[in-house]
Amino acid sequence: MKLTKMSHSCVRLEKDGRTLVIDPGGFSEADAAVGADAILVTHEHPDHFDEGRLRAAMEANPAAEIWTLKSVADQIATAFPGRVHAVGHGDTFSAAGFDVQVHGELHAVIHPDIPRITNVGYLIDGGRVFHPGDALTVPGQAVETLMIPVMAPWNKIAEVIDYVREVEPQRAYDIHDALLTDLARPIYDRQIGALGGAEHLRLAPGTSADV
């Protein structure tokens, strides 16, 4: 499986000539989802869900479909009739040849005064890749490649390190990193790599790795 990191939390996965894209939001490239056979969206925040980017992908490939939680599906189902599927925690499905399990229900707490929205994570091909969206969801099974949200208004580095320790992946790649300045990146790399207990890796937007 080829994993390509796009900007912020967007990831492209390619296998057997087909492409799955997760979270092509407003901080990602305008064409982040173009060429996708299937798109997964973890939640409704605009840095993860952007209707314009979805529309570009759906128009480029009339066979492309979207899987997402109900709060997003309700916003876009009429724009893409018959091509949007609502999913929730515990669901399993196949998308573009990838086996997907849905884990999690709520976005991480930003502040007690801010109501929590729904959020789901996607476990791909039995644990090859796990993308948690904006939560520190532990899927409860082995994970080879964990996408870790390293910098967000709702987390701190201690929580990120403990999350990697709890999931115990073989490797962890950074996502949710658009808010992280280049000045701070070495600090995160050093501390997560030294304390997380898993190989910690970073891909520049547009670069790829085999996972």
CA torsion 211-37-119-76 (nearest 10°) is: 170
**φ, ψ for residue 34 (rounded to 5)?**
-65, 130
Q: Number of structural domains, the chain?
A: 1
Say what the pLDDT of residue 104 is: 98
In a domain, 197, yes or no: yes
Exposed/middle/buried for 204, CB within 10 Å: 0-12, 13-18, 19+? exposed
Phi-psi region of 23 (alpha: psi -120 to 50; beta: other; left: phi over 0): left
Range of the domain at 45: 2-204
Q: What separation in angstroms does the CA of 66 have from each of 11, 36, 79, 80?
A: 15, 10, 12, 9
pLDDT digits (tens, 9 = 90+) for 131-184: 999 999 999 999 999 999 999 999 999 999 999 999 999 999 999 999 999 999
In a domain, 161, yes or no: yes
**φ, ψ for residue 201 (rounded to 5)?**
-135, 155
Say what the pLDDT of residue 152 is: 97
Q: Give the pairing type, strands 208-210 and 199-201.
A: unpaired
Which CATH number covers residue 8? 3.60.15.10
Say what the pLDDT of residue 81 is: 95
In a domain, 42, yes or no: yes
How much is the pTM? 0.97
In a domain, 195, yes or no: yes
In a domain, 211, yes or no: no
Tokens of 72: 């997003």
Mean pLDDT for the chain overall:
97
In a domain, 209, yes or no: no
Radius of gyration of the chain (CA): 16
Say what the pLDDT of residue 99 is: 98
pLDDT digits (tens, 9 = 90+) for 109-139: 999 999 999 999 999 999 999 999 999 999 9
Averaged over 51-55, what is the pLDDT? 97
Q: How far is Cα 154 from Cα 172, in angstroms, rounded to an integer?
A: 19
Averaged over 179-194, what is the pLDDT? 94
pLDDT digits (tens, 9 = 90+) for 58-86: 999 999 999 999 999 999 999 999 999 99
Nearest to 66 by CA among 103, 37, 102, 34: 37
Say what the pLDDT of residue 165 is: 98
- Farthest CA pair distance, the chain: 48
Length of the chain: 211
**Residue located via tokens 């173009």:** 34
Say what the pLDDT of residue 171 is: 98
Share of the chain above pLDDT 70, in %: 100
In a domain, 210, yes or no: no
